[in-house]
Structure 1
Amino acid sequence: MGQTVGVIGLGNMGRGIAKNIAKGGHRLLVWDAIEEARTAFFDVGTIAAPADMAAQADVIIFVVPGSDQIESILADILGAAKPGLILWDFTTSDPTRTKGLAVQANAVGAGYMDAGMTGGGAKGADDGTMTLMIGGPKELFEKSKPVLTSCAGELIYLGPSGAGHTMKVVHNLITHTNFLACSEAGQLAEAAGIDLADMIKVFNAGNARSFISERRFPDHILSETWDGRSRVFNLHKDVGMAVALSKEVGSPMRIGHQTLAWLEAAVEAGMEEEDFTRLYPALGDLADT
């Protein structure tokens, strides 16, 4: 028999996660601060405000932008929490803040797990094929597996609280740096008279291939659909956290600073809310800033 699962945050990632949890045979409760996002789930799950959700759910999954949004509702959730409630933080957040949220939850007997997401972005969430990078008590991970396997294809347990979000910061540093490196290469190829599609074809037949060249460029840039379904804001936040983490732990970083400089230029140019794939055609203007 399925568990009662709440999903808070029904944006690009949360929508797919919630629908797959319902398909997996679990009783679904949903909440989003935006009414239109909530009403889209009338025929899939039950709408429940965070405190009401906490009183009923075995598991609650946060799929919101970050720790700020969780902190704004955590007191209400913990004040009404059903005994044994396990909270899953699917955000991309500062691991130090994640550990602090876990302490708050543990103080009232609730569990708190962090799970960074990867594997195809919003499409991976829609298809239920994404990978989760998991931190927190292993026994709570094992207890939650029936819920997690309904919305993810691979589960990788990494260690104690904060480990999942630490790995997500490292992962996104590579992902976003690779996107901008491929974008620089594409601009160079086009300026030198080589067709962008031909460059991507060569990359994918050789050692330069990556998820960026295999999917991002063909699906969202060569197609001119510009629908990667993530904002420039998110990339800027993620790389900023990686740079901050490098300073905190004393790890050398230079390439990450250059990636952050590109993203800071994009934010200053007013692109914060635009789809990140639009960085490619804007690269020349951003270089001038």
Structure 2
Amino acid sequence: MHEGELALDDELARRLIADSFPDLGDQVLQRVRAAGTVNTIVRVGDDLVARFPLAAAMREDLAAEGAAMSAFAAVCPFPAPLPHGIGSGNESYRSAWAMQTWVPGETAGFDAHAGSSSLATDLSELILSLRTVEVGGRVFDGQGRGGDLRDHDGWVTECLSKSDHLLDVPRTTALWQALRDLPRSGPDVMGHRDLTPFNLLVGRRAGLDRLVGVLDSGSFGPVDRALDLVCAWHLFDPQPRRLLRDRVAATETEWFRGAAWALQQAIGLGWYYERSNSAMAALGVSTIRRLLADEELSALLSRG
């Protein structure tokens, strides 16, 4: 998917696991076929999972992610993985890597739960629970999404220039221009920072879609309070979106900034992963189409 990414076959994965965790050397290994774009995932026995970065990572960075995961799991009302340790690389795989606990469930589909009020309710509970954690003296770390929308102008412009064959570029451009200058609606809050369908585990209970796990919580930290609202645009049709919006009591500005973050995230998925990760590319196109079809956002464009 990315130029220069680290290669890892099953035998190398087994050697790395046995060297760093000798007690796990005889466990059954199973490569997890997922839509993720950052790690190669290998399940280790029934209870653990090894995450091997596609780009070399430092032990210090993985330790910081592990601390954030533990903090996230302590407040998350749904199951979330916990760190189990950090593994070392070797001459064939020059990177540290992480061992975590396994959380069962099926990843959400961007088109599979579009009308699910039950899942929207669970996600609102998740967002509100994370916001109960005091930010204290911490500030946004400047990495990725969650700061100033306008910092992403260059990336959005590049993506728009490569997306003519995938979406309505003039309307998407106009929507970004309408949203990028919206002011923050309040102070930063603690957030997951990447609530995409592939980080959400869903199960059926009493005939309803329910959230049964939350993955990739290693970036848990202070961000724009609108950022975690991207999940509403990645997953839902208008009625469940409205339910989530009402339950988290999002103001109009906060809601529209959430739409802006969803646009910023989705715009790069379609063209970038078009040939290497079809599921991720399809998510990006689907989210942009949801944004363009929304009546409130369309009215915002009309006012402009």
Same fold (TM over 0.5): no
Task: With the length of structure 1 as denominator, give the TM-score of the two structures.
Answer: 0.24
Q: Name the structure, 1 or 2, with higher relative contact order (CA <8 Å, separation 6+).
A: 2
Larger helix percent: 1
